[in-house]
A = this chain, B = another copy of it.
Amino acid sequence: MPKTAQTRLSKEGATHFLHIESPFHFATGGRLPRADIAFETWGELNHDHSNGVLIMTGLSPSAHAASSEDDPTGGWWEPMIGPGKPIDTDHNFVVCVNSLGSCKGSTGPASLNPETGEQYRLAFPDLSIQDIAAAGGRVLDALGIERLRVLIGASMGGMSALALMRQRPAIARHFLAISTAICAEPFAIGVRSLQREMIVRDPHWQDGAYTDENWPETGMRLARKLGMISYRSGDEWRSRFGRLRQDRFNERLFGMHFAIESYLENAARKFIRDFDPCSYLYLSQAMDMYDFTDGFEDLKSAFAALQLDSAKIIGVETDILWPPYQQREICKGLTANGVDCDPQTLPSVQGHDSFLVDYDRFCPSVAGYFRRVEKI
């Protein structure tokens, strides 16, 4: 039975689904009997399939990176993707994939296990970044893209992109890495480990057997607040909130008195029910465990197989979770192998999240790289 016979495509609104109707094997040995991969696209694939752009996302975003006719609601990277925008859909066929293991359309721990009729929850196989990458690769197969014009990975998505290039060294001509790394640094591991502990120590966690009525709300609330603390920066909050008072959520002793506390509470409330706790744990853990240099002697040899024509590596000065030295490491690995690599450290004050909010700086940077690679 040919490989393609085991997959089919469908579409609901703006969301495409790749249905993989045969076992999907995980890097660490587990398997799913079948899997769905959700993705969205913008623009048209050209005749020689040479204008493909793949975006691999951070932990929480869906495939809805930008609006389209089928879904006019704003996407998570709206100012970046569209006709005349930095990732110009008049010249590029842009694909954004929801990560395997997520809960935004792709198969994850909250999906039904066809073998039991129940949600996978902790029966979901041990997920690694390599599996997220492989799922993205299967979408490219289904779309007939053998070599991308640009592979884009931000945050966790940068690790997924690196893993995809490890699996398919010629998959991309150009690589745009944003606020990402070859592996998590100990500070980030410490933060994420604590976020996971917040969730699994919530009495409603119940070893993954939480219900809609008994949701690990406290764990998710605390984890999201710590997330926001690590994603942003003191510099931003100093100018944005200072010591402004806002007693909005001050319901009890040791309640909230400052605007910064309301801001964190609002961010948490939006997230608690919007993301599956199991998905969160699997993706968070996958990020900590990944190391692009595993199995290689040094940084140079880890990057040696990649058949890139160029790379642009953007980081942000105030990012405490994926700090600039980590982007310099990627550059070092690529440059050592003769890849034309353009590093840029932006002075954005919004920390790790800058690529999602500081469009004044990120749009020109991304637009410049696309103008360059479209000419190569």
Give me the interface of A with B, judged by CB distance under 8 Å.
122, 183-191, 193-194, 196-198, 200-201, 203, 218, 221-222, 225-226, 228-229, 233-234, 237-238, 240-243, 252-254, 256-261, 264, 281, 285, 288-289, 291, 320, 323
B257 touching A289, Cβ below 8 Å: yes
B226 touching A187, Cβ below 8 Å: no
B196 touching A222, Cβ below 8 Å: no
> Known contacts A243-B291, A257-B289: does B234 contact A194 (CB below 8 Å)?
no
Q: How far is the CB of A69 from chain B (nearest CB, A)?
A: 40
B243 touching A194, Cβ below 8 Å: no
> Known contacts A254-B285, A285-B254: does B198 contact A222 (CB below 8 Å)?
yes
Q: How far is the CB of A292 from chain B (nearest CB, A)?
A: 12
Copies of this chain in the oligomer: 2
Residue of B nearest to A244 (CB): B186
> Complex: how many Å from CA A190 to CA B260?
6
Q: How far is the CB of A293 from chain B (nearest CB, A)?
A: 10
Q: Of residues A189, A201, A291, which shows the largest number of chain B Cβ atoms within 10 Å of its Cβ?
A: A189
> Complex: how many Å from CA A189 to CA B255?
12
Of B193, B225, B234, B281, which is within 8 A of A261 by CB? B193
Find chain B residues with CB under 8 A from A221 CB: 197, 201
> Complex: how many Å from CA A181 to CA B198?
30
Q: How far is the CB of A225 from chain B (nearest CB, A)?
A: 5
> Complex: how many Å from CA A184 to CA B122?
41
A254 touching B281, Cβ below 8 Å: yes
> Complex: how many Å from CA A227 to CA B31?
39
Residue of B nearest to A201 (CB): B218
Of B190, B225, B238, B259, which is within 8 A of A187 by CB? B238
> Known contacts A197-B222, A256-B193, A320-B320: does B187 contact A234 (CB below 8 Å)?
yes
A254 touching B187, Cβ below 8 Å: no
> Complex: how many Å from CA A240 to CA B186?
9
Residue of B nearest to A233 (CB): B187
Find chain B residues with CB under 8 A from A241 CB: 186
B222 touching A190, Cβ below 8 Å: no
